[in-house]
Amino acid sequence: MSTQPRSAVFQAAGESEELTLIALKKAANFLREHPATVIEIVVSGSAVHGLIDGHATAVAAAILLGDHPSTTVVACRNALHTHDIDESALADTFSVVPAAVARIVERQWDGWALVVV
Protein backbone atom coordinates (compact mmCIF):
# COMPACT_ATOMS: atom_id res chain seq x y z
CA MET A 1 0.00 0.00 0.00
CA SER A 2 1.32 3.43 -0.94
CA THR A 3 2.27 5.79 1.87
CA GLN A 4 1.82 8.86 -0.34
CA PRO A 5 -1.49 10.69 -0.05
CA ARG A 6 -3.87 10.08 -2.89
CA SER A 7 -4.90 13.00 -5.02
CA ALA A 8 -7.80 13.92 -7.29
CA VAL A 9 -8.33 16.83 -9.64
CA PHE A 10 -11.93 17.88 -10.25
CA GLN A 11 -12.70 19.60 -13.56
CA ALA A 12 -15.44 22.24 -13.16
CA ALA A 13 -15.82 23.65 -16.65
CA GLY A 14 -19.00 25.08 -18.09
CA GLU A 15 -21.61 27.80 -18.09
CA SER A 16 -23.00 27.55 -14.56
CA GLU A 17 -21.52 29.93 -11.99
CA GLU A 18 -22.45 27.30 -9.38
CA LEU A 19 -20.12 24.60 -10.77
CA THR A 20 -17.57 25.34 -8.05
CA LEU A 21 -20.16 24.58 -5.37
CA ILE A 22 -21.27 21.43 -7.14
CA ALA A 23 -17.64 20.28 -7.32
CA LEU A 24 -17.06 21.14 -3.65
CA LYS A 25 -20.10 19.14 -2.60
CA LYS A 26 -18.89 16.16 -4.61
CA ALA A 27 -15.44 16.57 -3.05
CA ALA A 28 -16.98 16.63 0.43
CA ASN A 29 -18.89 13.42 -0.34
CA PHE A 30 -15.70 11.80 -1.60
CA LEU A 31 -13.71 12.94 1.45
CA ARG A 32 -16.20 11.24 3.78
CA GLU A 33 -15.05 7.94 2.26
CA HIS A 34 -11.39 8.88 1.67
CA PRO A 35 -10.52 11.66 4.14
CA ALA A 36 -6.76 11.72 3.46
CA THR A 37 -7.19 12.64 -0.22
CA VAL A 38 -5.80 15.90 -1.57
CA ILE A 39 -8.28 17.54 -3.95
CA GLU A 40 -7.85 20.39 -6.40
CA ILE A 41 -10.84 21.85 -8.23
CA VAL A 42 -9.94 23.50 -11.54
CA VAL A 43 -12.58 26.02 -12.64
CA SER A 44 -12.89 27.25 -16.23
CA GLY A 45 -15.44 28.51 -18.73
CA SER A 46 -18.17 30.86 -17.51
CA ALA A 47 -17.99 29.14 -14.13
CA VAL A 48 -15.14 31.53 -13.22
CA HIS A 49 -17.77 34.24 -12.64
CA GLY A 50 -18.71 32.41 -9.45
CA LEU A 51 -15.21 32.98 -8.05
CA ILE A 52 -15.48 36.78 -7.97
CA ASP A 53 -15.16 38.23 -4.48
CA GLY A 54 -18.62 38.71 -2.95
CA HIS A 55 -20.41 36.37 -5.39
CA ALA A 56 -22.74 34.00 -3.52
CA THR A 57 -20.85 31.00 -4.91
CA ALA A 58 -17.49 32.39 -3.75
CA VAL A 59 -18.85 33.05 -0.26
CA ALA A 60 -20.33 29.56 0.07
CA ALA A 61 -17.17 28.00 -1.38
CA ALA A 62 -15.01 29.73 1.23
CA ILE A 63 -17.13 28.20 3.98
CA LEU A 64 -16.93 24.72 2.47
CA LEU A 65 -13.17 25.04 1.93
CA GLY A 66 -12.76 25.92 5.59
CA ASP A 67 -14.23 22.53 6.44
CA HIS A 68 -11.88 20.73 4.02
CA PRO A 69 -8.32 22.08 4.26
CA SER A 70 -6.98 19.44 1.86
CA THR A 71 -9.12 20.93 -0.94
CA THR A 72 -8.15 23.91 -3.09
CA VAL A 73 -9.83 25.77 -5.93
CA VAL A 74 -7.95 27.30 -8.85
CA ALA A 75 -9.23 29.43 -11.70
CA CYS A 76 -8.10 29.22 -15.31
CA ARG A 77 -6.34 32.44 -16.35
CA ASN A 78 -7.43 31.91 -19.95
CA ALA A 79 -11.08 31.75 -18.87
CA LEU A 80 -10.66 34.86 -16.73
CA HIS A 81 -9.26 36.74 -19.73
CA THR A 82 -12.00 35.43 -22.03
CA HIS A 83 -14.64 36.72 -19.59
CA ASP A 84 -12.83 40.03 -18.93
CA ILE A 85 -12.30 39.23 -15.25
CA ASP A 86 -9.20 40.67 -13.60
CA GLU A 87 -7.43 38.21 -11.30
CA SER A 88 -7.59 40.77 -8.48
CA ALA A 89 -11.41 40.49 -8.58
CA LEU A 90 -11.28 36.89 -7.32
CA ALA A 91 -11.93 36.07 -3.69
CA ASP A 92 -8.70 35.52 -1.73
CA THR A 93 -9.71 31.88 -1.27
CA PHE A 94 -8.81 31.05 -4.87
CA SER A 95 -5.62 31.01 -6.89
CA VAL A 96 -4.98 31.10 -10.63
CA VAL A 97 -3.30 28.69 -13.05
CA PRO A 98 -2.31 29.62 -16.63
CA ALA A 99 -4.55 27.10 -18.41
CA ALA A 100 -7.11 24.67 -16.99
CA VAL A 101 -6.43 22.01 -19.60
CA ALA A 102 -2.68 22.08 -18.93
CA ARG A 103 -3.20 21.90 -15.16
CA ILE A 104 -5.52 18.92 -15.45
CA VAL A 105 -3.18 17.03 -17.77
CA GLU A 106 -0.17 17.81 -15.55
CA ARG A 107 -2.04 16.48 -12.52
CA GLN A 108 -2.91 13.31 -14.40
CA TRP A 109 0.72 12.88 -15.44
CA ASP A 110 1.55 13.06 -11.73
CA GLY A 111 -0.92 10.25 -11.02
CA TRP A 112 -3.92 12.27 -9.84
CA ALA A 113 -7.39 10.82 -10.50
CA LEU A 114 -9.70 12.94 -12.68
CA VAL A 115 -13.30 13.72 -11.77
CA VAL A 116 -15.34 15.66 -14.33
CA VAL A 117 -18.16 17.70 -12.80
Helix or strand (DSSP H, E) at 102: helix 100-109
Residue that wins the pLDDT comparison between 3 and 115: 115
What is the layout of strands, in order, in the sheet containing 113-116?
95-97, 71-76, 38-44, 7-13, 113-116
pLDDT at res. 115 = 97
Residues in the chain: 117
The whole model's pTM is what?
0.94
Cβ-based neighbours of 65, under 8 Å, separated by 6 or more: 24, 71, 72, 73, 93
Predicted confidence (pLDDT) per residue in 57-104, tens digit:
999 999 999 999 999 999 999 999 999 999 999 999 999 999 999 999
Q: Which residues pair with 11 in a beta bridge?
A: 42, 116
- pLDDT at position 2, please? 52
The tens digit of pLDDT for each residue in 34-53 reads 999 999 999 999 999 999 99
Q: Model confidence over 14-26: pLDDT tens digits? A: 999 999 999 999 9
pLDDT for res 92: 95
